[in-house]
Amino acid sequence: MKIIMLGAPGAGKGTQAKRIAEKYSIPHISTGDIFRANIKNGTELGKKAKTYMDQGALVPDALTCDLVMDRIQQEDCKNGFVLDGFPRTIPQAEALDAALKNIGQTMDYAIDVDVPDENIVNRMGGRRACLNCGATYHITFHPTKEEGKCDACGSETVLRDDDKPETVQKRLEVYHAQTQPLIDYYKEQNILKTVDGTRPMDEVFEAIVAILGA
Ligand code: ADP
Ligand code: AMP
């Protein structure tokens, strides 16, 4: 099963992608997590990506596409994968389609987690991320057991630099200009499914399972 998660920043793509990965035993591939891991490890890619991420801009396709194409060809992806945060532009979607076509495959589902802009600012301001293991929390909707400490690994949880209100506004603009057109792109391919992302996390997941099959 090969799945794309679509939706605005903060819509809940990562939250749902992690659950999908666990239930269907497929890898969760988050380009944002890959970039953040590179930043943490001080790699060249990380240094380049950070300059764009801190401004709420997209990392150029040239730095993003090859990374994903390599990842989806690894052994653990042979039964499928869930992409979270990729593609984010039409050229990225075309690169993905072309790479899959080469191996005689196509994507199965593009799930749009639909959340209006007015809910997003609240979501992002309350998001807390563990920079060590990538777990995500929310101060109201999914708090850590101990304040400021990751339930999974015990490291500190932080407000991501790009979740500050001024950057969130910019990211939403970038989303509408560059990523939202993918909704029509996948509608035309007949693989678009939309779920109401304003519902509580468990209900969103139930809606997704109803689409993918139990
Ligand atoms: P994305 O991967 O789309 O950027 P996340 O999955 O990180 O979004 O979710 C953004 C924030 O909103 C997180 O703090 C997460 O805990 C919270 N969240 C996710 N889904 C829901 C939901 N259905 N209701 C309330 N809060 C949610
Ligand atoms: P995310 O963790 O998905 O919210 O991504 C955080 C940031 O990483 C984004 O705001 C972009 O700057 C960058 N990023 C992640 N995925 C992509 C992508 N597919 N294309 C371009 N930039 C990306």
197 lines ligand 2 (CB under 6 A): no
Three-state DSSP state, 137? strand
| One pLDDT digit (tens) per residue for the chain, 214 residues | 999 999 999 999 999 999 999 999 999 999 999 999 999 999 999 999 999 999 999 999 999 999 999 999 999 999 999 999 999 999 999 999 999 999 999 999 999 999 999 999 888 999 999 988 889 999 999 999 999 999 999 999 999 989 998 899 999 999 999 999 999 999 999 999 999 999 999 999 999 999 999 8
160 is catalytic: yes
Structural contact between residues 16 and 22, judged by C-beta atoms closer than 8 angstroms: no
CA of residue 30 to ligand 2 center, whole Å: 9
Q: Say if residue 116 is preceded by a cis peptide, omega within 30 of 0.
A: no
What are 120's two structure tokens? 């997003």
pLDDT at 104: 92
122 lines ligand 1 (CB under 6 A): no
